[in-house]
Amino acid sequence: MRIATWNVNSITVRLPRLLAWLESSGTDVLCVQELKCGPETFPGAALRDLGYESAVNAGGRWNGVAVFSRVGLSEVVPGLPGGPSFEGAVEPRAVSAVCGGVKVWSVYVPNGREVGHPHYAYKLEWLAALRDAVAADAAGETPFAVLGDFNIAPEDADVYDIAAFEGATHITPAERAALTELQRTGLSDLMPRPLKYDRPFTYWDYRRLCFPKNRGMRIDLVYANAAFRGAVKDAYVDREERKGKGASDHAPVVVDLDR
């Protein structure tokens, strides 16, 4: 079984590339973030034509997550149970489903904007709610993983130059501590193997030639329980999908399971 996560940065803009990638990659389950569409404009028919069912949590112009599966889709839960709101709105940042005997969450963790901003506090509250929501599945015997754009680089080596991020979000002790708390539920950071570069970055800003210069970050993560990790055959970043016209600023992270 091939499971992947990908922040597509607008499914409407990225749809031709997304459909082509699903066909060429042989992906069975794809967790998607940053749909940037509402339910009425979600391209469900195009995905069904490729054999994928969809579990979607989308609300309009911003955010939005989904799980696409061609190996079955059940027990769908849209939203983060117990999750906080921001400025009075509960944002569409999580959806979970069981696909082919594996339970997955697709998550889009709040960005945080800047240290001290209300969105930063919201980010930490959201991560605490995520930890509580996944604890039972993390400790269970069913293969389980939380996949998505966490907007946190777990270690200094997960950014191209730690000095360039001094005072910024994504690397603060509080954010990384939230990931540590997530791991205490029984989940572990599933590190993709390096291919072209020593560190498998997953995101590169569109500006300042960040991708050609490999000025990236590893913020698209897979946190898996013991049953999931025990079935892993391979894990890698599909860096090729970040290339060319019309690419997302994130690359897919792909995990192959022996099931």
Write out the catalytic residue numbers.
Answer: 108, 149, 250
Do 185 and 224 form a contact (C-beta atoms < 8 A)?
A: no
The burial of 129, by beta-carbon neighbours within 10 Å (0-12 exposed, 13-18 middle, 19 or more buried), is given as middle
CA distance 94 to 58: 9
Binding residues: 7, 34, 149, 151, 249-250
Helix (H, G, I), strand (E, B) or coil at 186: coil
User: Tokens representing 224?
Assistant: 């898996």
- C-alpha separations of 2 from 81, 229, 249 in Å: 27, 13, 22
d(CA 221, CA 209): 23
Indicate the annotated binding residues for Mg(2+).
Answer: 7, 34, 149, 151, 249-250
Q: Which helix (H) or strand (E) holds 174?
A: helix 173-183
